């Protein structure tokens, strides 16, 4: 008697281990991980046909680590930027009823709070117009990763002479409140890119790319939390 056997496909959900060496007892760290979609941890290969390739917490990317860099201010953010309590300040927060996703972590602080380079690097854009009367500085840091320091004051408001090369901890600007009554605080809008893509950092927002950013956009939250802990 002949018997037919059908192949059985067993699907096992992927698990993410060892994202970093942060303490597993940190609730903010765990909240940050839960706030973004799961993505590949090891290699990051850009799929040119998919605009929605975004990393959350890579294992090793472009010199980034929990101890590579400084927090971009010398004081802690006044409000949470991770987990449910962060609301619209968090990376991946829904905007316009979900039509857009927030591409940064917003670090609330006082008006004209100084902003510092998180690591050595080269300035790609120096306080260029950004959003609602604010400017942004873009720096390619050692290792190739890129940070856009957004919502800072223009040079005409807070004059500051900067050379092309900067060093870790160097003053690079001052945060500035956007020109909107709906926004209650000044903030540093902190965007992080791996440096593995080319072209403008801001791109058209689509259903495939709700961040409106280049495909090497990263979630900066867990890095910022680690760097912030070094402040005294």
Strand extents, DSSP E, the chain: 94-95, 100-101, 105-109, 114-116, 121-129, 135-141, 146-152, 165-166, 171-174, 186-193, 217-218
* Angle, vertex CA 92, rays to CA 86 and CA 95, nearest 5: 85
**DSSP SS3 for 175:** strand
- Residue 66: the pLDDT is 85
- Residue 62: the pLDDT is 60
Share of the chain above pLDDT 90, in %: 66
- Residue 1: the pLDDT is 47
Q: Which of 61-75, 90-104, 173-187 has the lowest mean pLDDT?
A: 61-75
Contact 53, 47 (CB under 8 A): yes
User: Measuring CA to CA, how many Å separate 208 from each of 7, 53, 214, 220?
Assistant: 34, 9, 12, 21
CA distance 178 to 228: 24
Strand 135-141, strand 121-129: pairing: antiparallel
- Residue 61: the pLDDT is 61
Q: Name the packing angle between helices 221-228 and 27-34 (round to 10°).
A: 160
Model confidence at 88: pLDDT above 60: yes
Per-residue pLDDT band at 53 (split at 50, 70, 90): very low
pTM listed for this prediction: 0.75
Q: What is the pLDDT of residues 125-180, one digit of tens each?
A: 999 999 999 999 999 999 999 999 999 999 999 999 999 999 999 999 999 999 99
Q: Provide the sign of the torsion angle of the four alpha carbons 103, 104, 110, 111, taken in this order.
A: negative
- Residue 59: the pLDDT is 41
Per-residue pLDDT band at 72 (split at 50, 70, 90): very high
Model confidence at 214: pLDDT above 50: yes
DSSP H helices, 101-207, are none
Q: What is the pLDDT of residues 35-50, one digit of tens each?
A: 333 322 222 233 333 3
Domains, the chain: 44-228 (2.70.70.10)
């Amino acid at each position: 008697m002949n018997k037919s056997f059908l192949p059985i496909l067993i699907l096992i959900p992927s698990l993410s281990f060892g994202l970093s060496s942060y303490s597993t007892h940190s609730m903010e760290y765990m909240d940050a991980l839960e706030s973004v979609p799961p993505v590949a941890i090891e290699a990051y290969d850009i799929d040119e046909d998919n605009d929605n390739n975004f990393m959350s917490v890579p294992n090793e990317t472009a010199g980034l680590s929990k101890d590579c860099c400084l927090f971009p201010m010398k004081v802690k953010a006044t409000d949470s930027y991770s987990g449910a309590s962060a609301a619209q300040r968090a990376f991946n927060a829904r905007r316009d009823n979900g039509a857009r996703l927030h591409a940064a972590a917003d670090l609330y602080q006082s008006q004209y709070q100084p902003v510092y380079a998180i690591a050595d690097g080269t300035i790609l854009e120096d306080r260029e117009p950004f959003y609602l009367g604010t400017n942004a500085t873009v720096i390619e840091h050692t290792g190739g990763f890129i940070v856009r320091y957004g919502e800072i004051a223009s040079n005409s408001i807070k004059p500051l002479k900067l050379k092309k090369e900067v060093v870790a901890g160097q003053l690079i600007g001052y945060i500035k409140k956007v020109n909107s009554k709906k926004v209650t605080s000044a903030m540093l809008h902190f965007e992080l890119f791996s440096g593995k893509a080319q072209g403008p950092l801001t791109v058209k927002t689509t259903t495939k790319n709700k961040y409106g950013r280049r495909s090497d956009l990263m979630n900066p939250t867990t890095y910022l939390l680690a760097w912030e802990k070094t402040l005294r």
